[in-house]
Each structure stands twice: as structure tokens, then as C-alpha cells.
Amino acid sequence: MKVENKYNKLHFLALASLFVLGNAVITAPQNMANKYNFLGYLLSCGLGFGVCFVAYLIPFNKLTAAVFITLSLFCVGDSFVTFIKFIKQSLLPQIPPLFIVLPFLALVLFLSFKSENVVFKFSLFSIVPTVFIIILFFGSTAKDFRFSNIFIYSFPKISQLSNQFIFYIKSLVLPCFVLTSFAKLQKFKKGLLAAGLGSGFFLLALTILNSVLLFGIEFSGKLNYPYSSAGSTVTFGNLFTRLDGFLYFIFLCSCVIKCVVGIYVIKKSRSLFTP
């Protein structure tokens, strides 16, 4: 029994990490980001932890189910739209977007109709290469990092910091309600939920820092897809490797998991409204 519990915990950590990466890993840091962006991210992470602990204590009833359904619909729609936009704008002209979009939709539908164990296994299978790719890209571009890009020399005004909050509230904090609902439905404890959030926040922080340390926050904020752009700079000697294609794997898996978790919460929450 202990082995089974450990096995399930590892799977939830993998799923939670991918869920947090979600579609945020594609677009963070957001357009018009300023030098306080990473500070805003850290504060949003703290708020995300708070949201999860509060939401975990809220009883599951028709009112909370309606809220979870609404937020889950938002998560699914936001992830889907972000992924489709990225594919349409990033693929080479000779590659039809449907070549990627159809497998994405098929995978979401397939996992949505399978048991939770299949989703957990997919998560564990996906997180291993995801972590490897994130660390590989971070290490490969580290030689070009400028750590002065994240230094803050003055205290931010409320307006400067609040502008950075908006993106992370939408991409991180609100989805925390959905992940908390999933954890409660699966009867996972708060400590494991916090660990899953922490691992996801850490991985997402690495991807944001990868872009900011490489390009600077202002230039990163002008890019539609900063992390993908950072990946395209990886070189071996004078040769550009175009290894950013590996990032598509991360974007696919994280958006799929965010959609599948959202659909799962919707289906379970709807059961409260049916006799």
C-alpha cells in the first residue's frame, strides 16, 4: 500500500507541475512587461499558495461547483486559444497548422474519456522530458545571461506592480482554484497540493528567467513567445541548432494537461446539478 501511495503522489506532482506550466509557459513574461515583472510573478506564486489553501477548506456544494465550472471553462478555453495561436504563428508556412492542432485535440479528447490513472501516467511520462528540456535550455543559454536584467534598484509604485499582476492572476492564480478542486476530488492532501504547486512554480520561474536573463525584461515583453525565442538562440559554436522545436513538446503536454484537468473538474462538478 505504501508503494502505491508513493506512486500516486509522484503522478500528482507531475500533473500539477504540467498544469501550472499550462499555457503560461508559452507567453510569459507577458506583453509590455516591466522590470518588476519577476517580482510580480513571485508575489503571484505566494497568492496562488494562499488561494489553494483557502479553496481547499471551502466545502464542495452547488455554489462552489458553479464557480469551479466557470473557472475550468476559462482554463480550457484560454489554454486552447493560446496553443492554437502559437501554432499558427510559429510553424513554417509549408507545415499546415492542422498537422499539430488535430493531434492536440485528439489527445485532449482521448485523455478526457479515459480514467484518471491514464492521465496520471501520461503526466509522469511527459514531465521527465519536460524537466530535462527546461534544464538543458537553461544551461545551454547560461553563457549569455546578464543577471543585471533582474536587478531592481527602486521600489515599485502600485501601478507598476499591479500591471504585472494581471497576467499572472489570469494564468496562475485563477487556475489554482481548478487544481485545488481536482486535488480534493482525488482526495490528495494539502501538503501534496502545495508540493505540486511549488514544483510547477519553480519550473515556470526557470522558463521566465531564461528569457529575461537572455533578452532583458523590456525586450522579452515585446516578444509574442519569449521562451520559444530564447530556445531558438541555442548554438553549438557558430551553428544555430533550432532546438526550440523541443519546446513544442512542453507546450503541447502542458496545455493538454491543463485542458484535461479542467474538463475533469467540469464533469465532476456537473454531477451536483443532476439527480
CA distance 175 to 5: 25
What is the amino acid identity at position 171?
S
Task: Map out the domains of the chain as residue ranges.
Answer: 2-273
pLDDT digits (tens, 9 = 90+) for 238-269: 555 566 778 889 999 999 999 999 999 999 88
Kindly tell me the burial class for residue 275, based on how many C-beta atoms sit within 10 Å of its own C-beta (0-12, 13-18, 19 or more): exposed
Chain CA centroid to CA 98, Å: 23
> Sorting pLDDT into bands at 50, 70 and 90, what band is 274?
low
pLDDT digits (tens, 9 = 90+) for 42-82: 888 999 999 888 888 888 888 888 999 999 999 999 999 99
Average pLDDT in the 19-45 region? 82
SS3 sequence of 106-145: HHHHHHHCCCHHHHHHHHHHHHHHHHHHHHHHHHHHHHHC
Q: What number does CATH give the domain 2-273?
A: 1.20.1740.10
Which position has the higher pLDDT, 270 or 14? 14
- 155: pLDDT strictly greater than 60: yes
